[in-house]
Amino acid sequence: MALTNKDPHNAREIARVIYLSGKAMRRQSRGKSTKAIDSRIDAIREKAQARENARSLHRR
């Protein structure tokens, strides 16, 4: 279930993205790479958007 009508992410995905963003910030402050974490965040967002696009096609 989305947090808002215009948000494709569900609560679990939002929590995961926030957690991974914090983890990336900590790694970045230590001078380490965040590429893997950033790609995981992008994958979560792409999956959520694809799911929402599929739902909107069925609603029409």
pLDDT for 37-46, tens place per residue? 999 999 999 9
What pLDDT score does 28 carry?
97
pTM of the predicted structure, to 2 decimals: 0.82
- How many helices (H) does the chain have, and how many strands (E)? 2, 0
Phi, psi (degrees; rounded to nearest 5) at 5: -65, -30
**Amino acid, single-letter form, for residue 58:** H
Sequence-separated (6 or more) residues with CB below 8 Å from residue 52: 2, 8
What pLDDT score does 9 carry?
84
pLDDT tens sequence across 16-57: 999 999 999 999 999 999 999 999 999 999 999 998 888 888
What pLDDT score does 38 carry?
97
